[in-house]
Amino acid sequence: MEKVKGGIVLGKRYEVLSKIGAGGMADVYKGRDTMLNRYVAIKVLKKEYREDDNFVRKFRSEARAAAGLMNSNIVNVYDAGEDRGLYYMVMELIEGITLKEYIKRKGRLSHKEIISIAIQMCTGIGAAHAANIIHRDIKPQNIIISKDGKVKVTDFGIAKATTSHTVSSNAMGSVHYTSPEQARGGFSDAKSDIYSIGITLFEMATGRLPFEGDSTVSIAIKHLQEEITPPSEYVEDIPYSLEQIILKCTQKNGERRYANTDDLIRDLKRSLADPDGNFVVIPPLRNADTVIITDEELDDIRSNYDDDDEYDDNEYEDYRYGDDRYDDEYDDYDDYDRDGRRGKNDEDVNPGMQKVMKVLTAVVIVIILFIVIFAIGKAAGVFSSFGKGTLLEEKEDEEIEVPSLIGMTEEEALKELDHKLGIKVVGSEESEQYEEGKIIKQTPEKGKKVKKNTTIKVTVSSGITEKTQTVPDVSGKDEDEAQKELEDKGFKVGTSEFEYDDSYSQGEVISTTPAAGSEVSEGSEVIMKVSRGSEKKTVPNVVGKADETAQKELVAAGLVIGEVGYEYDDKVAKGKVISQSIQGGKKVEPGTSIRIVVSNGKKPEEKVAVPNLSGKTYQQAKALLESYGLVAVNGGEEESEEAVGKVSRWSSAGKSVKKGTKITVWISGGIREPDPVQPSTPTTDPDQDPDDPQSNPGGTPGQ
């Protein structure tokens, strides 16, 4: 696989979407973790380094170094692996730009911005130090600022874990930010990172780097032998405390720097509250800060740094994880005395510079002798055979107009330059116009006047850039409408995926793969995720549950409580659900109304008032009682003043009784006549009238 393009899935899990950055060893892509459905950054080792075991080991070491670090100010590493010859690392995706790019945009940062960024940066680096990991490549290119202002440290490419306070290695970070001990190839510890932090603070405060040079070796030597110019000589309004913090961080002698990031953070916070305070304490000088370098040590430095390295000034893109390019467009520095005071001290003599001056003096003497010998020889005709093209006959300041090399191969460019100018390939990039190997950029540009033998730095094409287009946002649109819009823009629309989603109506597009806003190749396939509507809900079985509990469960299931009825039930306790309108376990649409019936407990016994039966015959009384749900019982006749055959009295008269109660009814038999009294037989006159009182003085009339 020659290139990593959108549509490739690494490790059967990570889908590559689009390229978002490039570094010295690796390219960075935006991807999607299909298992966890989240966006990630995928760092893939470049093709030219995959066959190099050293680079592969370095790439894997970065994953090992960073995988164990979980901190909000560190770009977290989730996974790493190898798939079809591609070595990749899966990291947290940060939407933002590098600190390098941020400095370039703003020129220099304010006091508060510097401290805010520095505190977060030191927090992340401090977490690594706590895990016995020294970063060793701290620089603005490895600091990411997210869109929400979060600062994260990334690219532990040459980090090394240690169980002691120091590590010994000849691996070095980027030369502009490297500590003196790293430049010398000696040990490096947490204080080496603090030195690099100090250089980064210097760049944030001034918009420039403290040291520059024509080669990596010259810059490395300056870190060893030259003092940093106080930032106030470039920025007059820099707070005194911040300048002292920078100077303490960048002391040549590690013992004079901050012992750890916690101490540095403490002074940074204090500087925020007291910008001009004199609280930063730089330990006194014990040994010389500058270093005398032996020839043997100089050879060691050259072996660690490529002395012919050139630096391009291309803009840094967002997400530049692992970008090892350098920016050399900075002004010259001034001298600075080793006691940390502003100003110059002409009396201090750098021992290393004394040696350099001796060497230069010897070189000048040799050159003068060579010129004298050459002049004598030429006068004697010794060099006449060289013709008029000899070195002394050419003007030392001869200038040549730079031709255009754009579109040529390196071989064609060499012929064009005709040995008058040199050429050096400093990088490669994709091109929209030129094929692989053709020159697409040159410095100096066409038409510039330069001295003879000047080297022209060129960038060659790594291949034709695929034309890309942005995936439109079709979420919320009808599936047919969305498909037409995508096809009108030249995309191929694949088979849609469907899923339930409460936020979108049935048939509306939820999202697309690749996601809306992604830059993909023209004609790429886009898969739409379409809503099935709200997912059907399972009706819970609430029969037998308390009324309040049942209603809560129904609402939690996405349903609506309909009518609530109440009934007497001898078998279901009062307040418990007797029944529900839709049986539990059935699938229904969200928001379906469910009616429930709640028990009022056992039905109470019903009572009725016993009606008035006066003046009724037994049959009439019986019919009336039965209409009330009562039972008539004939109590028989009794003597009563009521008319014969009529109800004389009844039980429970004037009371309320349960239905079905027996009511005894008595019927009047009238008033009984007393039994006649047998009188003694009087002597009477048979013809006498018995009703005549005169004739019956002791009797009762009618008797």
- Distance CA(130)–CA(40), nearest Å, equals 26
CA distance 383 to 390: 9
Average pLDDT for 352-364: 47
pLDDT score of 326: 32
The predicted structure's pLDDT at residue 659? 87
How many helices (H) and strands (E) would you count in the chain? 15, 34
Q: Assess if residue 109 is contained within a domain.
A: yes
Instruction: Answer whether 245's CB lies under 8 Å from 280's CB.
Output: yes
Position with higher pLDDT, 470 vs 165: 470
* First-to-final CA distance of the chain: 146
Give the pLDDT band of residue 203 (cuts 50, 70, 90).
Answer: very high
The predicted pLDDT at position 528 comes to 92
Going by their DSSP bridges, the two strands 38-45 and 26-33 should be labelled as: antiparallel
C-alpha 438, offset from chain centre: 40
For residues 260 and 133, the model is more confident at 260
pLDDT at 377: 57
Q: In this structure, are strands 422-431 and 455-464 parallel, antiparallel, or unpaired?
A: parallel
Looking at residue 147, its pLDDT comes to 87
What CATH number has the domain bearing residue 74? 3.30.200.20
C-alpha to C-alpha distance for 347 and 369, rounded to whole angstroms: 33
Q: How many CB atoms lie within 10 A of CB 466?
A: 16
What CATH number is associated with residue 579?
3.30.10.20
Instruction: Answer yes or no: are the C-beta atoms of 546 and 501 closer than 8 Å.
Output: no
What is the Cα–Cα distance from 592 to 106, expressed in whole angstroms? 58
Would you call 308 exposed, middle or buried from its count of C-beta atoms within 10 A (0-12, 13-18, 19+)?
A: exposed
Q: Tell me the pLDDT tens digit for each residue of 285-309.
A: 764 445 555 555 556 555 555 544 4
Is the residue at 275 inside a domain?
yes
| CA quadruple 168, 173, 177, 180: dihedral sign | positive
d(CA 474, CA 483): 9
Phi (first) and psi of residue 672, to 5 degrees: -80, 140
573 lies in some domain:
yes
Residue 224 has pLDDT above 70, yes or no: yes
Tell me what pLDDT residue 323 has.
Answer: 37
Of 531, 552, 574, the one marking the end of a domain is 531
Helix (H) or strand (E) holding 663: strand 662-668
Residues 509 and 560 in one domain: no
- Comparing 42-56, 84-98, 562-576, which segment has the lowest mean pLDDT? 42-56
For residue 492 the two structure tokens come to: 């191929």
Q: What pLDDT digit, counting tens, does each position of 583-631 carry?
A: 999 988 888 999 999 999 888 878 899 999 998 999 999 999 999 989 9
- If asked whether residues 493 and 458 sit together in one domain, one would say no
Burial degree of 324 (CB within 10 A; 0-12, 13-18, 19+): middle
Give me the mean pLDDT over the 478-504 stretch. Answer: 87
pLDDT score at 316: 33
Is 98 in contact with 318 (CB distance < 8 Å)?
yes
Average pLDDT rounded to a whole number, residues 115-132: 94
Peptide bond into 514 cis (omega under 30): yes
pLDDT average, residue stretch 120-137? 91
What's the pLDDT band for 641 if we cut at 50, 70, 90?
confident
If we measure between CA atoms, which residue out of 132, 54, 44, 37 comes closest to residue 83?
44
Among 599, 615, 647, which residue terminates a domain? 599
pLDDT at 205 over 90: yes
On the CB side of 34, how many CA atoms lie within 13 Å of its CA?
13
Going by the DSSP 8-state scheme, the letter that residue 493 receives in this structure is: E
Most confident of 71-80, 264-273, 367-376: 264-273
Instruction: Determine the pLDDT at residue 7.
Output: 67
- Say yes or no to pLDDT of 407 above 70: yes
Give domain status of residue 151, yes or no: yes
Rounded CA separation 426/215 (Å): 13
pLDDT of residue 6: 53
- Based on the domain organization, do 182 and 228 belong to the same domain? yes
**Does residue 322 sit within a domain?**
no
Closest of 280, 224, 231, 230 to residue 252, by C-alpha: 224
pLDDT score of 312: 37
Per the structure, the complete domain to which residue 87 belongs is given by 9-92
Q: What DSSP string describes 257-315?
A: S-SSHHHHHHHHHHHHH-TT-----PPPP-S-SS-PPPHHHHHHHHHHS-TT-----PP
Local confidence band at 376 (pLDDT 50, 70, 90 cut-offs):
low
In this predicted structure, what is the pLDDT of residue 311? 37
CA dist 320 and 322 (Å) reads 6
**Mean pLDDT estimate for the chain:** 79
- Per-residue DSSP letter, 546: B
| Same-domain check for residues 481 and 627 | no
Decide: 211 and 327 in contact? Cβ < 8 Å.
Answer: no
Residues 288, 360: one domain? no
Q: pLDDT band for position 541 (50/70/90)?
A: very high
The domain that holds 279 is classified in CATH as 1.10.510.10
- Residue of 149 and 297 predicted with greater confidence: 149
Whether the CB-CB separation of 580 and 559 falls below 8 Å is answered with no
Nearest to 200 by CA among 337, 319, 99, 326: 99
pLDDT tens digits along 70-115: 889 999 888 888 898 888 989 999 888 999 999 999 999 999 999 9
Whether the pLDDT of residue 266 is over 90: the answer is yes
Does 700 map to a domain? no
Alpha-helix runs per DSSP H in 400-522: 410-417, 479-488
What confidence score (pLDDT) does residue 304 get?
57
**Residue positions annotated with a catalytic role:** 137
| Residue 313 to residue 315: CA distance in whole angstroms | 6
- Residue 508: count of CB within 10 angstroms of its CB: 19
Q: Is 484 domain-assigned?
A: yes
121 to 114, 126, 142, 485, 558: CA distances (angstroms): 10, 8, 10, 45, 47
d(CA 426, CA 443): 10
* The last residue of a domain, from among 364, 386, 408: 386
pLDDT digit string, tens, across residues 2-20 = 345 556 899 999 999 998 8
pLDDT at 673 over 80: no
Strand-pair category, 492-493 with 525-531: parallel
Answer with the residue of higher pLDDT: 170 or 653. 653
CA distance 257 to 677: 150
Q: Is the dihedral of CA 213, 217, 220, 225 positive or negative?
A: negative
At 670, the pLDDT band (50, 70, 90 cuts) reads: confident
Q: Which residues contact 23 (CB under 8 A, 6 or more apart)?
A: 155, 320, 321, 322, 323, 324
Residues 190 and 288 in one domain: yes
Quick one: average pLDDT of 572-581?
93
Bridge partners of 633, per DSSP, are 664
| 158 and 62 in a common domain | no
Q: Are residues 641 and 574 in the same domain?
A: no
Whole-number percent of the chain with pLDDT over 70: 76
> Are residues 109 and 177 both part of a single domain?
yes
Percent of the chain whose pLDDT exceeds 90: 41
Same domain flag for 32 and 81: yes
Pairing mode, if any, of strands 631-638 and 587-588? unpaired
Number of structural domains found in the chain: 7
Q: Give the three-state DSSP class for 384.
A: helix
Q: Is residue 310 part of a domain?
A: no
Task: Please state the three-class secondary structure of 219-230 as a single string.
Answer: HHHHHHHCCCCC
Does 264 score more than 60 pLDDT? yes
Q: Residue 172: which of 140, 135, 146 has the closest Cα?
A: 135
60 pLDDT band, cuts 50/70/90, is confident
Q: What is the pLDDT of residues 332-347, one digit of tens each?
A: 323 333 333 333 333 3
Q: What's the mean pLDDT in 404-413?
A: 91
Are 264 and 156 within one domain? Answer: yes
Q: Tell me which residue has tokens 């080496």.
A: 192
Q: What is the CA radius of gyration of the chain?
A: 53
Of 481, 598, 607, which Cα lies nearest the Cα of 549?
Answer: 598
pLDDT at 170 over 50: no
Highest mean pLDDT among 246-250, 476-480, 586-590 belongs to 246-250
CB 491 within 8 A of CB 525: yes
* Per-residue pLDDT at 34: 92
Same domain, residue pair 262 and 180: yes
Identify the band that residue 481 occupies on the pLDDT scale cut at 50, 70 and 90: very high
